[in-house]
Amino acid sequence: MRKKIVAGNWKMNKNFTEGLALFSEVMHMANDELHNNQQVIVCSPYLHLHSLVQLSKGNVKVAVGAQNCYQAESGAFTGEISADMLASAGVQYVIIGHSERRQYFGETNATCAEKINIALKHNLKPIYCIGETLQQRESATHFDIIKSQIAEATYHLSEQEFAKIIIAYEPVWAIGTGVTASSAQAQEIHAFIRKEIAWQYNVAMADEISILYGGSCNPKNADELFAQADIDGGLIGGASLKSRDFIDIAKAFN
């Protein structure tokens, strides 16, 4: 059975003190209220990562992820962080290719491929984000866009490597807008992604991969979204900044 995953993306929010307090609340609520087959991941800014890893030591329900890593091993890349550094701090996951990174920092499918490679090399599990813009949906090119986002960033991977990836389908028009994809729209794309993976790899692989939905997910709409056959959880932005909302979203699986 695929693991149920709810990952929070804090983006550039919460100072150090606020972040530690939020994480402690999340851990306590997760321990008290969530079942064992649910994985909560908190993707904080770099600043908090090491402390969050220390706080969550021995906790199987809550893990820590970064929001990005650089594609080179090390060197003169001022302001960047390496996969090795993240892994050495105990970080387990890394978001790659978030639409904000694609939009504001020029990331492409090709750079995502490099980032996925280096993340896997250092035993970080990539949460690879894909999704179409409103314009692409309206021009009915969204299936092609999603297909190429997966193919160009991941199809060079061996089966063993690909099995370590989590995919997050995040329609750009739904991120931070309050407009959620309907459960039918999300399910349609998730099923499409699974079919593509079965075609490229095999059916068993397609059945194994966790595919998360992201885009204005909240405690009110999580139940219906997560009830869809091919939706294995969520990547949560705004609602992950409030411990109660974040855990209530995860409880949609209870």
Binding site for ligand PEP (CB under 6 A): 9, 170, 175-176, 214-217, 235-239
- Between CA 131 and CA 110 the distance in angstroms is 16
Nearer to ligand PEP, 128 or 201 (CB): 128
- Between CA 253 and CA 37 the distance in angstroms is 9
Tokens coding 114 = 């490099």
CB-closest chain residue to ligand PEP: 237
Using alpha carbons, select from 118, 225, 219, 114 the residue that is nearest to residue 168: 225
Query: What sign results for the dihedral spanned by CA atoms 186, 192, 194, 200?
Result: negative
Q: Could you confirm whether 98 is annotated as catalytic?
A: yes
Nearer to ligand PEP, 176 or 199 (CB): 176
- Helix/strand/coil for 211: strand
Nearer to ligand PEP, 34 or 239 (CB): 239
Nearer to ligand PEP, 166 or 206 (CB): 166
Tell the smallest beta-carbon distance from residue 45 to ligand PEP (Å): 13
Using alpha carbons, select from 70, 79, 69, 76 the residue that is nearest to residue 49: 69
Tell the smallest beta-carbon distance from residue 180 to ligand PEP (Å): 8
Tell the smallest beta-carbon distance from residue 58 to ligand PEP (Å): 28
**CA neighbours closer than 13 Å in the CB half-sphere of residue 214:** 31
Tokens coding 80 = 């960047």
Tell the smallest beta-carbon distance from residue 168 to ligand PEP (Å): 7
Catalytic residue among 100, 107, 132, 170: 170
Tell the smallest beta-carbon distance from residue 155 to ligand PEP (Å): 23
Tokens coding 41 = 């991941």
Catalytic residue among 48, 98, 142, 190: 98
φ, ψ of residue 233 to 5 degrees: the values are 145, -160
- Between CA 208 and CA 23 the distance in angstroms is 29
Amino acid type, 110: A
Nearer to ligand PEP, 75 or 106 (CB): 106
Q: Could you confirm whether 50 is annotated as catalytic?
A: no
Tell the smallest beta-carbon distance from residue 18 to ligand PEP (Å): 17
**CA neighbours closer than 13 Å in the CB half-sphere of residue 90:** 15
The alpha carbon of 223 is separated from its chain's Cα centroid by a whole number of angstroms, namely 18
Catalytic residue annotation: 98, 170
